[in-house]
């Protein structure tokens, strides 16, 4: 991976991080006063969804920050399992990845098999 590609990926990650932070900070997770029980139940449901989205976004923020820290290291773009180079198209599509396509497929197959057993 060359310097230009690393810079493009880094800029993309910074933009994504800013968007995630803005979205997370603007998400409403407070239930205000309600006119009746139905409205209250509806607001509680909305709050649960917003809280789940907030938690997912916080996880993505952490992943993105971690990836930004790795972009300049020699092993960025190298699979953490097999140590082969991760293809540029995969990194462009999913810049926080640390697995090549083959290792990701193996992981998903194993998880699928565990779901059948458990």
* pLDDT tens-place string over residues 81-107: 999 999 988 998 898 999 999 999 999
Report the C-alpha gap between 48 and 101 in whole angstroms: 34
Sketch the domain layout of the chain as residue ranges: 1-73, 77-118
Predicted confidence band of residue 117 (pLDDT cuts 50, 70, 90) = low
Q: What pLDDT does 102 receive? A: 94
Q: How far apart are CA 91 and CA 68, in angstroms?
A: 13
Rounded CA-CA distance 64/98 in Å is: 12
Q: What is the pLDDT of residues 10-61, one digit of tens each?
A: 999 999 999 999 988 887 666 677 778 888 888 888 888 988 998 999 999 9
Angle between helices 3-26 and 37-70 (to 10 degrees): 160
Residue 46 half-sphere exposure toward CB, CA atoms < 13 A? 12
């Amino acid at each position: 991976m060359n310097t230009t590609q690393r810079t493009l990926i880094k800029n993309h990650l910074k933009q994504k991080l800013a968007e995630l932070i803005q979205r997370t900070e603007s998400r409403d997770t407070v239930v205000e006063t309600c006119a009746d029980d139905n409205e209250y139940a509806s607001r509680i449901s909305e709050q649960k969804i917003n809280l789940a989205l907030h938690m997912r976004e916080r996880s993505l923020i952490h992943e993105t920050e971690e990836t930004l820290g790795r972009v300049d290291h020699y092993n960025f773009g190298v699979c953490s399992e097999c140590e082969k180079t991760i293809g540029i198209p995969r990194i462009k599509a999913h810049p926080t990845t640390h697995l090549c396509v083959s290792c990701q497929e193996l992981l998903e197959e194993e998880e699928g098999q565990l779901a059948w057993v458990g």
